[in-house]
């Protein structure tokens, strides 16, 4: 999908969601949406607060927080929780491309995205009774190479 297509489909999703929930189409909600769509990696609520401040759009932290929550419910972003880290979010652009796996370091909290086509094809062939899967989240917890190097050095 091109950036413009992604944007118009996300705006449509938000329009539909707000109408269905009888919520107001506030400029803040659309400004936060366009900021979220510029994020190419996982982001924190804090990341969006900072980016909004830098673009001189005045919006309270609570509004950003609530709006991202609303996007999660509308299916525009997906929430991840990695261990004790604050929640991280990512935009859902196209389900197939978003089906990646996460390697999470339990020492430093770093998250690496990987694609494991074999695992993905196995997962997507799974069928569940009375349930239609939409996407998967797969986390592998462990220790990253930097932390493992650091751990070894301390032992010496
Ligand atoms: Zn690490």
Question: Ligand 1 center to residue 149 CA distance, Å?
Answer: 9
Question: Ligand 1 center to residue 39 CA distance, Å?
Answer: 23
Question: Ligand 1 center to residue 153 CA distance, Å?
Answer: 14
Higher pLDDT, 75 or 98: 75
Question: Ligand 1 center to residue 147 CA distance, Å?
Answer: 4
Distance CA 112, CA 73 (A): 25
Q: In what order do the strands lie in the sheet with 138-142?
A: 111-114, 101-105, 138-142
Using CA atoms, how far residue 30 sits from 7, 33, 34, 66, 155, in Å, is: 11, 5, 6, 13, 52
**Confidence (pLDDT) at 156:** 55
Question: Ligand 1 center to residue 32 CA distance, Å?
Answer: 31
Question: Ligand 1 center to residue 150 CA distance, Å?
Answer: 9
Helix, strand, or coil (residue 143): coil
Question: Ligand 1 center to residue 108 CA distance, Å?
Answer: 4
**DSSP bridge pairs for 78:** 90
For the segment 96-139, what is each residue's pLDDT rounded down to a tens digit? Answer: 555 678 899 999 988 888 888 888 788 778 888 998 877 677 78
Question: Ligand 1 center to residue 23 CA distance, Å?
Answer: 42
pTM over the 0.85 mark: no
Question: For residue 71, what pLDDT band results from cuts at 50, 70 and 90?
Answer: very high
Using CA atoms, how far residue 25 sits from 18, 21, 43, in Å, is: 7, 11, 24
Question: Ligand 1 center to residue 146 CA distance, Å?
Answer: 6
Higher pLDDT, 3 or 76: 76
Which helix (DSSP H) or strand (DSSP E) does residue 147 occupy? helix 145-155
Question: Ligand 1 center to residue 126 CA distance, Å?
Answer: 32
Question: Ligand 1 center to residue 71 CA distance, Å?
Answer: 30
Question: For residue 9, what pLDDT band results from cuts at 50, 70 and 90?
Answer: confident
**Confidence (pLDDT) at 40:** 83
**Confidence (pLDDT) at 98:** 55
Domains of the chain and any CATH numbers:
1-98 (1.10.10.10), 99-156 (3.30.1490.190)
Q: What is the DSSP string of 67-132?
A: HHHHHHHHTSEEEE--TTSPPEEEE-S-HHHH--EEEEETTT--EEEE--HHHHHHHHT--BTTB-
């Amino acid at each position: 999908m091109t950036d413009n297509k992604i944007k118009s489909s996300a705006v449509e999703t938000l329009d539909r969601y707000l109408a269905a929930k009888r919520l107001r189409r506030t400029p803040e909600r659309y400004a936060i949406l366009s900021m979220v769509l510029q994020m190419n990696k996982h982001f924190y609520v804090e990341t969006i607060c900072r980016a909004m401040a830098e673009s001189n759009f005045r919006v309270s932290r609570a509004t950003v927080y609530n709006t991202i929550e609303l996007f999660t419910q509308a299916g525009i972003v997906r929430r991840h929780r990695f261990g004790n880290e604050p929640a991280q979010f990512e935009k859902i652009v196209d389900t197939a491309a978003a089906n990646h796996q996460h390697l999470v370091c339990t020492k430093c909290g770093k998250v690496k995205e990987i694609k494991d086509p074999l695992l993905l094809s196995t997962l997507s062939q799974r069928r569940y009774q009375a349930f239609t899967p939409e996407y998967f989240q797969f986390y592998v917890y462990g220790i990253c190479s930097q932390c493992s190097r650091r751990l070894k050095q301390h032992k010496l």
